[in-house]
Each structure stands twice: as structure tokens, then as C-alpha cells.
Amino acid sequence: MRPAVGGGDGTMSDDLQRELGLVRQQIDQVDGCLLDLLNQRARLAQQVGEIKSRHGEAGFIYRPEREAQVLQRIQGMNPGPLSNESVTWFFREVMSACLSLEQPLGIAFLGPLGTFSESAATKHFGHAARLMPQISIDDVFREVEACHADYAVVPIENSTEGAIGRTLDLLLTTPLRICGEVVLRIHQHLLSNEESLGRVSKVYSHAQSLAQCHEWLNRSLPLAQRIPVGSNAQAAQLAAAERGTAAIAGQAAAERYQLPELASNIEDEPNNTTRFVVLGRHDAGPSGRDKTSLIMSAQNQTGALSRLLAPFSDAGVSMTRLESRPARHTLWEYVFFVDLDGHRDDAPVRTALAELVRRAPYLKLLGSYPVAAY
């Protein structure tokens, strides 16, 4: 008679332990190899820094185009089972740690800690970066302009709420260049120390997050008072200290302020996404998959905008975004924010820009930069 599975003689348990032991030995060996290779990579990164220093480029230890090329190559080589998102996260953290051996990058963003802006900053620069939360988007720009921070990460548009007006206004006047972008899926959670929705009488959150969860709030908390505050992190701080309240915020705020999720993923649009731009004091070179952003104005006459857009189609350049914004210096005049596929050094983009210089009353190139790696 065959013994029952898991029988009392211990045979199956011994076999299980033996098989697991063999696999775990292999895992330990791989971990050892990984550790050796990671430190080998770190030493090579240090050599890169030393070479740059000898050639007078020590101030630019971070090259967005080089990082983008590494991530594109890794994603193309990835055979699985790890997803491209997972390997991208891992290699970003490796590069972040290697950069920090030379000098941790100072990253300014709209604070406080626990906001989606912090999540975007760490997604792009890794956890070895020196985070520098600011109280306003204006202060984020100023920190980099004054050389107190190396880079800024600021929101520029949301898939449901549209453009971030203050960021667009500041891009008109800043000397900073866009050298990267971050695309962040926005998952909103209802955070509270209360154990049920029935105990929640107030909901704190940023006005934009309240708008993004409007329908869910109507269905689930129709009687709760909705109170807009300066940031989702501030909302979490308030909810953590006050009974009968909740905050709408992301996972970073939940972890930082130790608030349980009373309800998860409550955003009305499941594909809710915010795009951030990375601002620095230098340009990014071509990576092979790039965007170019610019601001232009049109004369107040029939067909003026059509004439401005014609050079793009004539040169075969795809325009991916066109956003109008009031020109702050003149009443009822507008400027246009444009995103293009390609780098300004690519021949088609260069041709289109050369013609645009002749046609546009005002033209400012905000930067060419690698397309976000997901």
C-alpha cells in the first residue's frame, strides 16, 4: 500500500527539505555573485567620476541620456520572469547608489514628505538621492536656480485634471532646462484610524485629489465634509491626529504617517496618471527615444497658429501635446506649450525648429530629454 502524502514516517518531509536546501544553496551562490558584481559596477562608476573630474566635467555626474540608454537596453535584454517595471526599479536603485558614492544628488520637490511628488522624485532618482521638500512650486524652482539643489521634480499635467498652471507659468521665465520626465500612476487611498466609513465625518485632501475622487466620495461618504488642504501629506498628518477624520493620499503618505487604508484605489479614473518634468541647469543629450518641449507665441491674425504648426508636419515631426496658456504680460494674448517626438539635435526636429524661429514672434526651447522609462 502507498503511504499517505505527509505520512508519519517523515519521508516526504525529508525529501522536501532536501530539495529546498539544494535550491536555497543556489540562491545563496547567486546572491554572492550579485554582491560581487554590484560592487564591481560601483567601482567602475567611481572610475567614470574620476575620468570626468580629470576632463573638467565633475559637476555633471548625472547624465539623463546615459541612464535612459541603460534602462532601454536592460528592458530589451530582459527574458523574464521579472517584469520590465521590476528590473527598471532595481537598476534605477543600483545607479542611484553608485551616484551617491560620488555625491548624493539633491532633489527639490513640492513637499512635505509623503506626497506624490516625493514618489516621483524617488522613482526617477532612487532612494539614495537627498530629498529636499519645498513648500511651493515656486520654491522648488528657486532651489535649483540658486544651486541649492541639483534637480527639481515638478508636476506638469494630470490625465484627468489637465495642466498644472503654476508650473507652466514658471517655465516661461526660468533659466532651467527640462532634462527628464517621470510618469506616475496615481492611486488614491482613504486613510484613517477609524475602523469603518460610518465613523468618518471629515475628509482632508489636496483639492485636486478631492476632485479625482469626487464620484467615490458621493457614493461612499455623501455626508462627510470635504476639506481641501495644501498637500495630501498634510491631510494625512491631520487625519492621524484627529478622531473621526480621514485623508485621501497615496501609499507614501500611508507609510510615512502610519495610517491604515480604510479603502484602496478610490480614484474615479483607474488610469489616473500624473506627468512630472525634471529640471536642471544643463541639457540632456540624445538617448534614442526623446521628446522636445518648447513655448511659442502666435500673432493675433487669421491662420497664425496653423502657420506655426506647419513646419512640424513638413519635417515629419510628430507633435504630442499642444496647450494654450494666457500670456501674463498682455491681456487676451496666449502662448502655446508644445511637446514633440525627437531630440532637438535630430535632423527633422532641427529642420522644423529652424523654420519655427523665422515664423514665431516668441520661441523658447525648454529642453530635449529622454522619454520616461516605466
Q: Which residues are catalytic?
A: 274, 276
Are 314 and 326 contacting, i.e. CB atoms less than 8 angstroms apart?
no
Helix 84-102 with 64-77: angle, nearest 10 deg: 140
Q: What angle do CA 177, 157, 148 make, to 5 degrees?
A: 40
Given a contact cutoff of 8 angstroms between Cβ atoms, the answer to whether 270 and 160 are in contact is no
C-alpha dihedral sign at 85, 290, 93, 87: positive
Query: CA nearest 225: which of 194, 254, 246, 253?
Result: 246
Q: What number of other Cβ atoms are within 10 A of residue 206's Cβ?
A: 21
Q: Which residues pair with 132 in a beta bridge?
A: 108
Residue 269: CB atoms within 10 A of its CB come to 14
